[in-house]
Amino acid sequence: MRGVRHGWHGTPEYNAWRNMKARVIGRRLKERRIYKLRNIKVCKRWLESFSAFLQDMGPKPSAKLSLDRINNGGDYSPKNCRWATSKQQANNRRARKRREFCLKGLHRLEGKRQCRLCRNAWYRENKKEN
């Protein structure tokens, strides 16, 4: 259905559809790789037609809303997408890996390895007390 005129080009709904496709199948390798590793796809109906996307999602109820996947591990599909506020999206993020820092919170640690600078400072401080 390429080249079909629908009168929605440049609208927030069209931009949401275009950006959704770009994240999953676009040319920007970094974004596409993240979605590919997580096996996230766009349903065939939406991939082929903006009109189908608009029919399923409807117009954005508010300018403050954007496209959100209800289940972050799921595909872009009518059953898994909604127009959501930034607060709803923030609460719907997947858990991030927690970074570990040294005792003084100055240096990032790799695994359980101690920061040598802080470890030496800790020994010096405790040696004075004894």
In tens, the pLDDT along 53-110 reads 999 999 999 999 999 999 988 999 999 999 999 999 888 877 655 445 555 555 555 5
Pair 22, 77 in one domain: yes
Pair 66, 123 in one domain: no
Domain that residue 68 falls in: 12-91
- 111: in domain: yes
- 104: in domain: yes
Q: Domains in the chain: how many in total?
A: 2
Sign (positive or negative) of CA dihedral 15, 47, 20, 56: positive
Confidence of residue 122 (pLDDT cuts 50, 70, 90): low
Alpha helices in the chain (DSSP H): 12-25, 29-37, 44-48, 50-57, 86-91, 116-129
Pair 84, 41 in one domain: yes
- 2: in domain: no
Mean pLDDT of 30-59: 90
Per-residue confidence (pLDDT) for residue 10, from 0 to 100: 80
- 3: in domain: no
Global confidence as pTM: 0.66
Task: Out of 33-37, 57-61, 122-126, pick the least confident.
Answer: 122-126
Per-residue confidence (pLDDT) for residue 15, from 0 to 100: 94
- 38: in domain: yes
Confidence of residue 111 (pLDDT cuts 50, 70, 90): very low
Pair 50, 81 in one domain: yes
Per-residue confidence (pLDDT) for residue 99, from 0 to 100: 47
Confidence of residue 112 (pLDDT cuts 50, 70, 90): very low
The DSSP element (H or E) to which 78 belongs, if any, is: none
